[in-house]
Amino acid sequence: MKTLQLILVILVAIEHLYFLILEMFLWTTPTGIKIFRIKSKKYAKETKVLAANQGLYNGFLAAGLIYSLIIKDMTTTIFFLVCVVIAGIYGAYSTKKIKLFYFQSIPALITLILTF
């Protein structure tokens, strides 16, 4: 794996670890409320379990990418990058927030393109 590809895969993994922290631990804090533009503290508390579930999935994506680097298997790296792209596309579609696509899918897509 080329150095640039390695750096980009690590950055995508770090990004998803950050999402995990935001969604699992900071959802009801002022930081989480501001970042996700949650309409109220009450709503944040009501949706905390759902957000934690999302965070867990983001953690699995990060873990998969890190694991693929440890075992040095490009096929596994590609699989998890494709999962990230799909998650970003679906997230942007289902929430009607195109920014989600740019933050989640584009870095993984760029990394995929460089891989091929």
Query: Mean pLDDT in each 10-residue stretch from start to end of the chain (116 residues)?
Result: 91 97 96 93 96 96 97 96 95 88 92 90
Identify the pLDDT of residue 1. 67
Identify the pLDDT of residue 75. 96
Closest CA to 12 of 112, 89, 99: 112
pTM, to two decimals: 0.90
95 C-beta neighbours (distance < 10 Å), count: 12
Residue-range domain boundaries for the chain: 3-115
Identify the pLDDT of residue 95. 84
